[in-house]
């Protein structure tokens, strides 16, 4: 009876009960007062008692007292199946493919219609699927095994579905899974685990993981570390591991393995040229290796130079030369080689050579032997003719067109004054030179309105502030005249007043792409004044450094300054795995490409490999999911708009990927989960019982039971009887 609780049915509840009780008590006191004159004590006591009982009976009737109790019932609980959909489920041990064993188990369970479970497939993500079609449709393809994420997702969903038990079917190949990470409470359903292949461990040697810096430098040793593993019948204490580069065996070493069959080897590699370098770590395949796909893994190193190599050649010392050299020397990311012509043929040094600190201008060494080693070549007020450099000019043009960069800075020995008209240098310059000529006088360079976002001149956070900053910089003096601007060139700075023959403003800074390289033409020799001549009311010294820093980085294609960039969510994928591409696209003028239709495709690639067409948003951002190519190798995903390539990003596709790399079954973690929740663990599918045996019951609220004992006719009759007797006796004994 302790489950019963009483309730008041009267309107107003406790308040009404109190008010009514006090009123009836007062009524009873009035009645007692009315019988005070009765001389017979027995009569008086009888009337008082009957009156009191009658009033009490009325009170209890009015309160409508009700007794209430909640009842429960045991019902069959829901059952969930959480099925591993990762590629490792396709592997075959001695007893055949794991996925076949799963299909057989599901088919067997489906013949028993007592249980109709909800089903989830999990891999890199978790999603629901149909139970009735599961055996036929089960084809594991996911590139990851995330047991914890899957269980967390299903348990959260299961709270709504009243799951009584969960059956996890997996090979347990998730090295990161830990039972305690689930935070299972007492209310969790029973979790059973079917560890597919748990009774048939794979015989496998594998490169489990590779660790290498994604960025390496020419001539600087880089480390590639490989975690390897040898298990099953192939377990041994040592393992032969090889490093390959460009189809060439670079190194072979022997890894010492611990008691669990795991070990680590490290290879030191020294990239020889910039670009991408693909290294492969390989374990020679044993004949009985059941997973040969994971014996070979690739590491892709983006090889750059530790420091940018810049060649600065100046026709004579001057302040513009001095300030630029100082800036480049201070910049720790630049390895500067500079040559200044300190003495011309006409200069009278009044000293023999051995008293001079002058060296010959090593033209052949610079422009034949080492030209390709420079990232940027700067000609600052330099005329080539006195140094018999005619034969080198085509080499400089070719160097730029192959991907180098070149800057010509103005002065009385630059551009047409330096007799570059008609030379190979003019071919790559963004301007046509024409006849020699210079413009004198001071002016403030103006930034072109449509190119104010270009990183070289974007000195402010937005175009308006950029233009304002340029107006505040100290004035320049003089400029080299040019005859025209080449069609594909971008004029970033121009003279405020002077015009070319065609009426266009005289350019002060022009840039262009020349082949695979970049070229800048700066027709003034006075940018040093931004650093030196700034007074308290102008800006300058920081802007000078920002300007030249951006100039060098843009010329050398610093990825951060490229107008369009895309990236992948990972660097390596399994064949056919999900690959997320995101990025931001801007046009050549650095304006966001809003609502642009972007084609994504792989290189190398064919029509069968997944590409996509995706639209950018208002800010030029894009994001989409692709399928990785079906053949292992190094790839690039390329973004193009209207056939023009804008950006690319490199990634690796491996036969194994991370999914097939480490196949150790985490059965003990699944065992821990089962113990916490009252579930069971089965190694292999042979001894798994019918699904109905794994299902469980749950206790469900069935409703409320109530009764009103004082509402019975007997109690009403008793009340009427008491009130009637009181009335009759009062009349008989002379009371009203």
Partner 1 sequence: MRAVFGVRWGRLWVVLVCLSVLPVHRVAAFGDATAVEIVSLDVGNGNDGARRVAERLAWEVRKRSSVEPILEPGRARLDRASLFRSPFVYWRGSDEFPPLSEQAIEGLRKYVHRGGFILIDDATAGGEGFDRAVRRELLRAFPALPLQPISSDHTIYRSFYLLRNPVGRVQGPGFLEGITYGDRIAIVYSRHDLGGAFQRDKLGAWSQAVVPGGEPQRERAIRLGVNLVLYALCTDYKDDQVHAPFIMRRRGSGR
> Which of the stretches 96-104, 353-361, 606-614, 623-631 binds partner 1 when contact is defined by CB under 8 A?
353-361
Give the nearest distance from C-beta 620 to partner 1 in angstroms. Answer: 39
Q: Which of 30, 159, 220, 356 binds partner 1 (CB under 8 A)?
A: 356
Q: Does 479 bind partner 1 (CB under 8 A)?
A: yes
| Euclidean distance between CA atoms 383 and 53, whole angstroms | 128
Q: Which of 77, 117, 410, 563 binds partner 1 (CB under 8 A)?
A: 410
C-alpha dist (Å) from residue 468 to 89, 462, 463, 477: 63, 10, 9, 20
Q: Which of 70, 268, 306, 347 binds partner 1 (CB under 8 A)?
A: 347
Nearer CB in complex with partner 1: 477/594: 477
| Euclidean distance between CA atoms 500 and 490, whole angstroms | 15
Q: Does 498 bind partner 1 (CB under 8 A)?
A: no
Q: Does 369 bind partner 1 (CB under 8 A)?
A: no
> Which of the stretches 421-429, 448-456, 502-510, 522-530 binds partner 1 when contact is defined by CB under 8 A?
522-530
Give the total of residues touching partner 1 (CB under 8 A). Answer: 57
Q: Which of 357, 435, 560, 701 binds partner 1 (CB under 8 A)?
A: 357
Widest Cα–Cα separation across the chain: 159
Give the nearest distance from C-beta 445 to partner 1 in angstroms. Answer: 14
What part of residues 415-474 is at the interface with partner 1 (CB under 8 A)? 417, 438, 440-442
Q: Does 478 bind partner 1 (CB under 8 A)?
A: yes
Q: Which of 15, 71, 260, 349 binds partner 1 (CB under 8 A)?
A: 349
Q: Which of 244, 387, 532, 715 binds partner 1 (CB under 8 A)?
A: 532
Contacts 24+ apart (CB under 8 A), 424-429: 424/393, 424/394, 424/396, 424/397, 425/379, 425/384, 425/393, 425/396, 425/397, 427/397, 427/514, 428/396, 428/397, 428/400, 428/401, 428/514, 428/515, 428/517, 428/519, 429/486, 429/519, 429/521
Nearer CB in complex with partner 1: 71/349: 349
| Burial state string for 441-466 with b = 16 or more CB within 10 A and e = fewer than 16 | eebbbbbbeebbbbbbbbbbeebeeb
| Euclidean distance between CA atoms 385 and 425, whole angstroms | 13
| Other CB atoms within 10 Å distance of the CB of residue 58 | 17
Q: Does 535 bind partner 1 (CB under 8 A)?
A: yes
Taken as a whole, the chain contains a residue count of 736
Q: Does 172 bind partner 1 (CB under 8 A)?
A: no
Q: Does 344 bind partner 1 (CB under 8 A)?
A: yes
SS3 21: helix
SS3 427: helix
Give the nearest distance from C-beta 345 to partner 1 in angstroms. Answer: 10
DSSP 8-class letter at 273: S
Q: Does 541 bind partner 1 (CB under 8 A)?
A: yes
Nearer CB in complex with partner 1: 434/478: 478
In contact, 491 and 506? CB cutoff 8 Å: no
Q: How many CA atoms lie within 13 A of 506 on its CB side?
A: 21
Q: How many CA atoms lie within 13 A of 2 on its CB side?
A: 0
Q: Does 534 bind partner 1 (CB under 8 A)?
A: yes
Q: Which of 100, 412, 513, 587 binds partner 1 (CB under 8 A)?
A: 412
Is residue 23 within a helix (H) or strand (E), and if so which, with residue range?
Answer: helix 13-34
Q: Which of 308, 526, 579, 674 binds partner 1 (CB under 8 A)?
A: 526
Q: Does 411 bind partner 1 (CB under 8 A)?
A: yes
C-alpha dist (Å) from residue 384 to 317, 338, 347: 16, 15, 18
Nearer CB in complex with partner 1: 479/510: 479
SS3 294: helix
- 291 exposure class (CB count in 10 Å sphere: 0-12, 13-18, 19+): buried
Nearer CB in complex with partner 1: 342/650: 342
> Which of the stretches 355-363, 550-558, 653-661, 693-701 binds partner 1 when contact is defined by CB under 8 A?
355-363
Nearer CB in complex with partner 1: 366/639: 366
Q: How many CA atoms lie within 13 A of 533 on its CB side?
A: 13
Q: Is the backbone peptide bond immediately before 604 cis, with ω within 30 degrees of 0?
A: yes
Q: Does 361 bind partner 1 (CB under 8 A)?
A: no
DSSP secondary structure string, 625-659?
EEEPPSS-EEEEEEEEETTEEEEEEEEEEESSTTT
Q: Which of 11, 130, 259, 351 binds partner 1 (CB under 8 A)?
A: 351
What tokens were used for 702? 């069935």
Lay out the site mask for partner 1 across 323-342 (x = CB under 8 A, - = otherwise). x-xx--xx------xxxxxx
| Euclidean distance between CA atoms 408 and 400, whole angstroms | 13
Q: Does 55 bind partner 1 (CB under 8 A)?
A: no
> Which of the stretches 11-19, 350-358, 391-399, 555-563 binds partner 1 when contact is defined by CB under 8 A?
350-358
Q: Does 632 bind partner 1 (CB under 8 A)?
A: no
Give the nearest distance from C-beta 481 to partner 1 in angstroms. Answer: 11
User: Residue for token digits 């070990």?
Assistant: 263
Nearer CB in complex with partner 1: 443/635: 443
Give the nearest distance from C-beta 344 to partner 1 in angstroms. Answer: 5
Give the nearest distance from C-beta 323 to partner 1 in angstroms. Answer: 6
Q: Which of 343, 516, 700, 707 binds partner 1 (CB under 8 A)?
A: 343
Q: Does 710 bind partner 1 (CB under 8 A)?
A: no
Q: Does 388 bind partner 1 (CB under 8 A)?
A: no
In contact, 231 and 664? CB cutoff 8 Å: yes
DSSP 8-class letter at 186: T
In contact, 475 and 529? CB cutoff 8 Å: yes
Q: Does 273 bind partner 1 (CB under 8 A)?
A: no
Q: Does 545 bind partner 1 (CB under 8 A)?
A: no
Nearer CB in complex with partner 1: 292/478: 478
Q: Does 321 bind partner 1 (CB under 8 A)?
A: yes
| Euclidean distance between CA atoms 333 and 520, whole angstroms | 20
Nearer CB in complex with partner 1: 13/317: 317
| Burial state string for 194-225 with b = 16 or more CB within 10 A and e = fewer than 16 | bbbbbebbbbbbbbbbbebeeebbbeeebebe
Nearer CB in complex with partner 1: 478/684: 478
Q: Does 316 bind partner 1 (CB under 8 A)?
A: yes
Q: Does 525 bind partner 1 (CB under 8 A)?
A: yes
Give the nearest distance from C-beta 497 to partner 1 in angstroms. Answer: 16
Q: Does 502 bind partner 1 (CB under 8 A)?
A: no
Nearer CB in complex with partner 1: 278/533: 533
DSSP secondary structure string, 133-163?
THHHH----BS---HHHHHHHHHHHHHHHTE
Q: Does 320 bind partner 1 (CB under 8 A)?
A: yes
Q: Which of 533, 612, 614, 729 binds partner 1 (CB under 8 A)?
A: 533
Give the nearest distance from C-beta 532 to partner 1 in angstroms. Answer: 5
Q: Does 701 bind partner 1 (CB under 8 A)?
A: no
Nearer CB in complex with partner 1: 256/356: 356
Q: Which of 74, 131, 120, 115 is CA-nearest to residue 695?
A: 115
Residue 283 phi/psi, 5-degree rounding, is -105, 120
Q: What is the dihedral of CA 671, 677, 682, 688, to 10 degrees?
A: 180
Give the nearest distance from C-beta 304 to partner 1 in angstroms. Answer: 22
Nearer CB in complex with partner 1: 259/350: 350
Contacting positions for partner 1 (CB under 8 A): 315-323, 325-326, 329-330, 337-344, 346-351, 353-359, 362, 410-412, 417, 438, 440-442, 477-479, 524-526, 528-529, 531-535, 541
């Amino acid at each position: 009876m302790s489950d019963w609780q009483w309730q008041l049915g009267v309107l107003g509840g406790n308040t009404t009960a109190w008010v009514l009780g006090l009123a009836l008590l007062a009524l009873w006191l009035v009645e007692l007062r009315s019988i005070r004159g009765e001389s017979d004590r027995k009569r008086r006591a009888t009337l008082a008692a009957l009156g009191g009982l009658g009033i009490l009976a009325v009170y209890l009737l009015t309160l409508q007292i009700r007794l209430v109790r909640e009842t429960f019932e045991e019902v069959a609980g829901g059952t969930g199946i959480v099925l591993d959909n990762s590629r490792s489920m396709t592997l075959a041990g001695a007893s055949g493919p794991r996925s076949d064993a799963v299909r057989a188990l599901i088919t067997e369970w489906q013949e028993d219609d007592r249980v109709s479970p909800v089903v989830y497939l999990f891999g890199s993500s978790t999603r629901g699927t149909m139970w009735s079609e599961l055996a036929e449709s089960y084809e594991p393809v996911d590139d990851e095994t995330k047991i914890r994420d899957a269980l967390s997702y299903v348990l959260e969903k299961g709270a709504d579905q009243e799951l009584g038990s969960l059956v996890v079917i997996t090979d347990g190949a998730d090295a990161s899974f830990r039972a305690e990470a689930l935070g299972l409470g007492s209310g969790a359903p029973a979790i059973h685990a079917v560890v597919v292949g748990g009774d048939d461990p794979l015989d496998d040697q594998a490169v489990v993981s590779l660790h290498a810096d994604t960025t390496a430098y020419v001539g600087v040793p880089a480390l590639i570390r490989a975690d390897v593993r040898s298990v099953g019948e192939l377990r041994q204490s040592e393992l032969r591991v090889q490093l390959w580069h460009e189809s060439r065996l670079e190194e072979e070493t022997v890894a010492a393995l611990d008691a669990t069959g795991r070990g680590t080897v490290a290879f030191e590699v020294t990239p020889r040229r910039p670009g991408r370098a693909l290294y492969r770590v390989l374990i020679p395949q044993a004949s009985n290796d059941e997973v040969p796909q994971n014996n070979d893994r690739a590491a892709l190193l983006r090889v750059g130079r530790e420091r940018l190599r810049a060649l600065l050649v100046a026709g004579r010392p001057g302040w513009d030369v001095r300030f630029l050299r100082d800036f480049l020397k201070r910049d720790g990311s630049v390895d500067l080689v500079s040559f200044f012509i300190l003495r011309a043929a006409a200069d009278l040094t009044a000293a023999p050579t051995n008293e001079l600190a002058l060296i010959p201008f090593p033209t052949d060494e610079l422009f034949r032997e080492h030209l390709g080693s420079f990232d940027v070549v700067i000609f600052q007020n330099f005329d080539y003719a006195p140094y018999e450099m005619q034969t080198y000019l085509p080499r400089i043009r070719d160097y730029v067109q192959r991907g180098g960069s070149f800057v010509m800075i103005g002065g009385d020995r630059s551009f047409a004054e330096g007799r570059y008209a008609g030379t190979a240098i003019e071919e790559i310059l963004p301007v046509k030179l024409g006849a020699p000529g210079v413009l004198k006088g001071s002016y403030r360079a103006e930034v072109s309105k449509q190119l104010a976002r270009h990183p070289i001149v974007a000195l402010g956070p937005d175009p308006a502030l950029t233009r304002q900053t340029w107006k505040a910089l100290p004035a320049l003096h003089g400029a080299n005249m040019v005859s025209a601007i080449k069609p594909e060139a971008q004029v970033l700075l121009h003279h405020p007043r002077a015009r070319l023959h065609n009426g266009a403003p005289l350019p002060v800074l022009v840039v262009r792409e020349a082949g695979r390289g970049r070229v800048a033409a700066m027709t003034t020799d006075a940018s040093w004044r931004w650093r030196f001549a700034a007074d308290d009311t102008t800006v300058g010294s920081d802007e000078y450094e920002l300007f030249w820093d951006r100039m060098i980085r843009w010329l050398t294609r610093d990825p951060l300054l490229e107008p369009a960039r895309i990236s992948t969510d990972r660097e390596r994928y399994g064949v056919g795995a999900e690959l997320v591409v995101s990025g931001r696209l801007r046009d050549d003028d650095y304006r966001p490409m809003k609502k642009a239709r972007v084609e994504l495709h792989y290189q190398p690639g064919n029509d069968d490999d997944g590409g996509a067409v995706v639209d950018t948003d208002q800010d030029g951002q894009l994001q989409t999911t692709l399928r990785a190519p079906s053949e292992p190798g190094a790839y690039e995903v390329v973004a193009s708009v209207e056939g023009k390539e804008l950006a690319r990003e490199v990634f690796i596709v491996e036969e194994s990927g991370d999914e097939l790399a480490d196949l150790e079954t985490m059965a003990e973690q699944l065992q821990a989960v089962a113990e916490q929740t009252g579930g069971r663990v089965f190694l292999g599918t042979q001894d798994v019982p019918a699904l109905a045996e794994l299902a469980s019951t749950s206790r469900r609220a069935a409703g409320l039971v109530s009764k009103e004992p004082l509402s019975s006719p007997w109690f009403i009759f008793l009340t009427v009887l008491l009130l009637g007797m009181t009335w009759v006796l009062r009349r008989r004994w002379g009371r009203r």
